[in-house]
Structure 1
Amino acid sequence: MATNIALVGIGKIAVDQHVPAINGSDDWHLAATVSRSGTVEGVQAYTDFDQMLADRADIPVVSLCLPPVPRFDYAQRAIAAGRHVMLEKPPGATLAEVHTLAELAADAGVSLFATWHSRMAAGVPHAKAWLADKDIKAAHITWKEDVRRWHPGQDWVFAPGGMGVFDPGSNALSIMTEILPMRVHLTKSVLEFPANSDTPIAAQLTWTGGVTGDFDWRQEGPQSWDITVQTDAGDLTLHDGGGRLVIDGSAVDVGPNREYPALYDRMAGLIKTNASDVDLSPMHHVADALTLGQRVMVDPFHL
């Protein structure tokens, strides 16, 4: 029998990814939404989160697609009401608040899932398996996209807590921390801030182990979501955000790409086993980049 779930924050990512993933799964039934203005046809819509929690005791799971800054408050209230919680990436505005949520969930006996959808990309587990016994010589991340395409009119991405280019950049970092067989730490960070922004629009990062990254939110036309790893046994490249894998120039059959359906499969499994999954390693690198960052002022940018 499908489990009722409420989706909170009906914006672009919810409509494009979460709703189809839920509706396409036998594990889930989208029973309610909460949003200031967004709705899903045929689904009971609330504008007040507390009212939904009070009315719908039959909904044991809440999936939060809100921006990072308000997410903690909603997650805290959901956990206090005994609900299992999924968090869109990045899971919060700060590391400390997500640690607090993990503790609250453990005390309440509910599951908390800090999702990283790019880790579910089809090529990622194959890349991780191939790299497991390799000697890594160097690696480079190229993560460049058009913020106007993916966050139209969403000014919160450039406000404090919005993370700027690290909102999509955390996808790359989630893959990096998943596939590399060794631990790395940041040694240099150059951050480009538009004159009218509180968060960076571009970043150039350097880690130990010969790992580098180039992140930019101003790329128009084709988008670049690539990670290349040089090893003692050849080169590996993940393209299309992890959806396509090439090893030494030859494409590897990795099957269909189903990132968000895989997240909801994982959440169903966590609830069945009364477990949580809260890996904050990608956010550690974001925090380090902001701590070490050399600030470079660039021209104002407008969505």
Structure 2
Amino acid sequence: MDVIKIALVGIGKIARDQHLPALSADPRFELVATASRHGSIEGVTAFQDISELLKAVEVDAVSLCTPPQVRHELAAAALEAGKHVMLEKPPGATLSEVEHLRGLAADKGLTLHATWHSRFAPAVEPARAWLAERKVRSAKITWKEDVRVWHPGQEWIFEAGGLGVFDPGINALSIVTRILPQPFFLTSAELHVPENRQAPIAAELAFKDAAGNPVTAEFDFLQTGPQSWDIDVETDRGALKLTHGGAKMFVDGALTHEGPDREYPGLYAHFAELIANGESDVDVSPLRHVADAFLLGRHTAAPAFDY
């Protein structure tokens, strides 16, 4: 397979922290251009917007790291120009946007990769295999982190479409939708929205799976000190616990799997494989659960939040 010439659109924190190191370490990709209003990469041709980039530089693929509210227009432009597209999570601001992009990619014979980086955490697939041989009795998600540490000054995250606490919470949902053997459905939700913001800063969700077993989630964007990225699953033959965002797996309290952070290298390896095979990967189930929470959830006022 020839080296994939790729452009990175949106040069912010996630691009610098994760995408650039992953691309630099993968010989299947060559970063040839960037497009961003607020950033650039030394030694890489830079543009202010994607339309300028697509006219001036030959690229095979585009990776979008912008906030979700503006991603659909950018992705559609890249697909219309005949480029494969990789989408940061969440893949769009709405489900309808993503479905449109899915159809557009299919019509043009291009790869569309809606990424869920937490699914590439080292203990996720071992957890999936372990649960496949057991009956789940209940599952509990505890996902609490400090927004000031992980999203410093990112005002867009609390705007409409920015998802608020569901920006990290959707990572947990991406893991649970991958590892649980049965689908689950929202029954109730409580969304705590700061009085000066549009998106929740905390949330509690209750689901039931297809067999009627409870699945619960607690999301919080104001946790200081130790951060919590945990998933607990009770089964008919033991208890499973994922910690550190899926990096470690415990069975009945004993550590069984752990590994280094290879989430974004895993995403790009998968993207390269999809392109080589002429396939797409567009699973919207985590985003659908978030949409259900906004549709069904009760909104309660929370104190004003400022960075």
TM-score greater than 0.5 by the shorter chain: yes
The 1-side partners of 2:227 and 2:260 are apart by 20
1:176-191 matches, within 5 Å, as 176-191=176-191
**Equivalent in the alignment of 1:222:** 226
CA-CA distance at 1:256 after TM superposition: 2.8
**Equivalent in the alignment of 1:206:** 206
1:140-151 matches, within 5 Å, as 140-151=140-151
Question: Contact 1:6 / 1:61 at 8 angstroms: preserved in 2?
Answer: yes
Among 259, 263, 268, which residue is 2:263 paired with?
A: 259
The alignment partner of 2:197 has SS state of: coil
Report Cα offsets for 1:208-266 as digits up to 9, x if no partner.
12110100001112111000000111110110100111111111134333000000000
The 1-side partners of 2:267 and 2:111 are apart by 14
The 1-side partners of 2:246 and 2:259 are apart by 12
CA RMSD in angstroms comes to 0.8
How many residue pairs are counted as aligned between the two chains? 302
**Equivalent in the alignment of 2:97:** 97
Identity %: 54
The 2-side partners of 1:149 and 1:257 are apart by 19
2:241 is the alignment partner of 1:240: no
1:14-53 matches, within 5 Å, as 14-53=15-54
Equivalent AA in structure 1 for residue 154 of structure 2: Q
**Equivalent in the alignment of 2:124:** 124
CA-CA distance at 1:271 after TM superposition: 0.4
Runs of 4+ in 1 over 3 A off after TM superposition: none
The 2-side partners of 1:213 and 1:152 are apart by 24
**Equivalent in the alignment of 2:305:** 301
CA-CA distance at 1:37 after TM superposition: 2.0
Equivalent AA in structure 2 for residue 285 of structure 1: H
The 1-side partners of 2:203 and 2:260 are apart by 31
Structure 1: which 5+ residue stretches go unaligned?
none
Equivalent AA in structure 2 for residue 61 of structure 1: A
The alignment partner of 2:129 has SS state of: helix
Question: Contact 1:140 / 1:228 at 8 angstroms: preserved in 2?
Answer: yes
After TM superposition, the score normalised by the length of structure 2 is 0.97
Question: Contact 1:126 / 1:254 at 8 angstroms: preserved in 2?
Answer: no
CA-CA distance at 1:133 after TM superposition: 1.7
Equivalent AA in structure 1 for residue 41 of structure 2: V
Structure 2: which 5+ residue stretches go unaligned?
none
Question: Contact 2:248 / 2:259 at 8 angstroms: preserved in 1?
Answer: no
2:293 is the alignment partner of 1:289: yes
CA-CA distance at 1:103 after TM superposition: 0.3
**Equivalent in the alignment of 1:80:** 80
